[in-house]
Structure 1
Amino acid sequence: MSNQITNTEFLLLGFSDIRELQILHFMMFLGIYLGALTGNLLIIKAIVLDHHLHTPMYFFLMNLSILDLGCISIVDPKSMANSLMSTMVISYYGCIIQVFFFLLFTTAELPLLIIMANDWYIAICQPLRYKSMMKRRACVQLAASIWISDVLNSALHTGNIFAIIFCGDNEMEQFFCETLQLLKLASYDSHLREIRTIAFSVYFALNCFF
């Protein structure tokens, strides 16, 4: 019967079932989350309020802080809630949301770091042309291109993963919905999908460098 029913939830098996270790995990992740939250919000606040920091370098740094904040916010709260309530369940749609936004925030960091490196390169090696090349409009267009392309990339990955029918086993050896772990739970051989997912990720990374 389990092979005929599509899964409506998944089990995250990343940590111990011992109650004391679950509380310890909650406290550790809470400290990490609050530290990351405070640090990134202070960076964003300082850059927004201080007009002296309205430069390309700090504009991209603010975008990086937003990515870091989003990445940790999509994973940590659910993991902490599961530890606190001694449960391992995440709903099917909750898993979709987690996969989409985790891919969105993590894969956008690579092109953003490359653009930041290019910004520093121009500032150091071509200082006389810096202001004409890195205008405010150009910076906004670069940041917008990162966000738009990454939304499309995340949507394609998420759609490819959840086009699979998940039946039977619903246990993931991870504390969040991770793509390769999900592919292992497919009701049929997903080896080809795993290869395509990895190949597309490598292509995306190499394309950023080119």
Structure 2
Amino acid sequence: MKLEIDAPQRPTRDIRHDRLLVLRDAHRTLIALADGSDSGAASQAAAALTVRELARCFRNGTLPDNSRDWEMVLQGIDLTVFKDPVAGETSALVLLVQQNVVVGASVGDSLAYTVPTVGEAQLLTARYRDEPRIGTGMAAPIGFGPVKLNGKLITRRAAEVDPRGVPFTIAAAEKPRSKRHFLATP
């Protein structure tokens, strides 16, 4: 699977509270995004802790292959972040791609689409949801997949998505320039 990171298409707000994690082995790729609720230190800590916990799952080999189990993983991370004395709140999106199939879950406003080589873009994640985020102790992740990946996998913030036209400029794979937009193609 070829991985590319796309530069933002317009000026962006403060991104110190955003975290992107991409981990790969011979058979699978884990993509995780966490977008803290604001630019404060507590949101930065929540986003960092969220991706750190997802990285731990990858390294321990405990990656679910169904959406319900990904919901449970994010619920567990919600409680971990909630109990952390310095962490605030964050949205989260996790995607596992293996054998050209994507499965995962999301909390908050980060979105994932598949864009087939022919046909319409398909929204994987639930439409924009603002609350409750990871770190509240009440997060309600929504899983998605398994979905066959036959084209591109795109993640974006809800305010930056046009599912009809999907107007993206693809950055060269060897020049990752942004933590904002992620594309994966088989």
Bin the TM-score by the shorter chain.
Answer: under 0.3
- Write 1 or 2 for the structure with the bigger share of helix: 1
Computing the radius of gyration from Cα coordinates, the structure with the larger value is: 1
By relative contact order (CA 8 Å, sep 6+), the higher-ranking structure is: 1
